[in-house]
């Protein structure tokens, strides 16, 4: 069973401030601030995940001598689900700036009876064979998109470890993801909300992250 880390429950920090602003209906009207706050949360997630990565002692030459520093020995691959995942992905990349990058297009294909299927249409990613990957999407509602995205990535290799990153998860979506991801996985969540609507939107959640970041779709 994957390990789960919920940042808002571990300790109080400025992360809570960014999360509250992302949720706030009035602050959401400023798309630039909404995207920047997602980016900030990505930076904090990346810092916390960096504590779990592998390091090696490396000599660094300074103007006055040589310093022995512990540096990342194996850069991860950052992968996000388009389009809503882009701002938080940028935050992860701001911190883990030497990482490889991958992108997956996934969307809900709605049916007349109100149900929907998750459709994956695009995957661009380097090899992940034996690599640590960080797969991010700001919202983990049902968990279906995240699990399908991970399974699609396996055509690019078998990762050494997978870090799942979502800002807000439903309790149901978190349980589904835990049950359907391999043991070599850590799930990082900002906050867990207990409710989900019949249309699979998280309550209280924050709304549609993609629309809030980039404008509504036609």
**Core vs surface per residue 97-112: b (16+ CB within 10 A) or e:** eebbebbbebbbeeee
> For 86-113, what is each residue's pLDDT tens digit?
999 999 999 999 999 999 987 666 656 6
How does residue 19 score in pLDDT terms, banded at 50, 70 and 90? very high
> For 149-206, what is each residue's pLDDT tens digit?
999 999 999 999 999 999 999 999 999 999 999 999 999 999 999 998 878 889 999 9
Give the pLDDT mean for 55-68.
97
Predicted local confidence at residue 199, as pLDDT? 80
Predicted local confidence at residue 122, as pLDDT? 84
Predicted local confidence at residue 111, as pLDDT? 57
- What is the rounded distance in angstroms from the CA atom of residue 163 to the CA atom of residue 137? 11
Among residues 154, 183, 179, 208, the alpha carbon closest in space to that of 23 is found at: 208
Predicted local confidence at residue 78, as pLDDT? 98
How does residue 85 score in pLDDT terms, banded at 50, 70 and 90? very high
Domains of the chain, first to last: 3-53+73-212 (3.40.50.2020)
- What is the rounded distance in angstroms from the CA atom of residue 193 to the CA atom of residue 190? 10
Of the chain, the percentage scoring pLDDT greater than 70 comes to 94
Contact partners, residue 141, CB within 8 Å, separation at least 6: 169, 170, 173, 196, 200, 201, 202
Among residues 193, 189, 217, the alpha carbon closest in space to that of 205 is found at: 193
**Is the pLDDT assigned to residue 4 strictly greater than 70?**
yes
How does residue 119 score in pLDDT terms, banded at 50, 70 and 90? confident
- What is the rounded distance in angstroms from the CA atom of residue 152 to the CA atom of residue 149? 5
> For 21-34, what is each residue's pLDDT tens digit?
999 999 999 999 99
Task: Map residue 99 onto helix, strand or coil.
Answer: coil
pTM: 0.92
Tokens of 27: 């602050």
Predicted local confidence at residue 116, as pLDDT? 64
CA dihedral defined by 7, 158, 124, 83, rounded to 10 degrees? -20
**Is the pLDDT assigned to residue 121 strictly greater than 90?**
no
Predicted local confidence at residue 218, as pLDDT? 72
């Amino acid at each position: 069973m994957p390990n789960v880390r919920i940042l808002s429950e571990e300790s109080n920090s400025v992360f809570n401030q960014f999360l509250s602003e992302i949720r706030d209906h009035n602050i959401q009207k400023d798309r630039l601030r909404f995207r920047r706050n997602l980016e900030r949360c990505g930076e904090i997630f990346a810092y916390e995940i960096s504590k779990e990565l592998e390091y090696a002692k490396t000599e660094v030459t300074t103007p006055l001598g040589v310093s022995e520093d512990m540096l990342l020995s194996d850069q991860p691959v950052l992968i996000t689900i388009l389009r809503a995942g882009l701002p938080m992905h940028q935050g992860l990349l701001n911190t883990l700036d030497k990482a490889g990058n991958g992108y997956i297009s996934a969307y809900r294909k709605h049916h007349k009876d109100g149900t929907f299927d998750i459709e994956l249409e695009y995957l661009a990613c380097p090899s992940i064979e034996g690599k640590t990957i960080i797969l991010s999407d700001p919202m983990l509602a049902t968990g279906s998109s995240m699990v399908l995205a991970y399974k699609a990535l396996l055509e690019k290799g078998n990762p050494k470890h997978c870090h799942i990153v979502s800002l807000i998860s439903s309790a149901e979506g978190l349980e589904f993801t835990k049950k359907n991801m391999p043991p070599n996985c850590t799930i990082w969540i900002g906050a867990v909300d207990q409710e989900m609507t019949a249309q699979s939107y998280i309550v209280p959640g924050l709304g549609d992250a993609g629309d809030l970041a980039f404008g509504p779709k036609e």
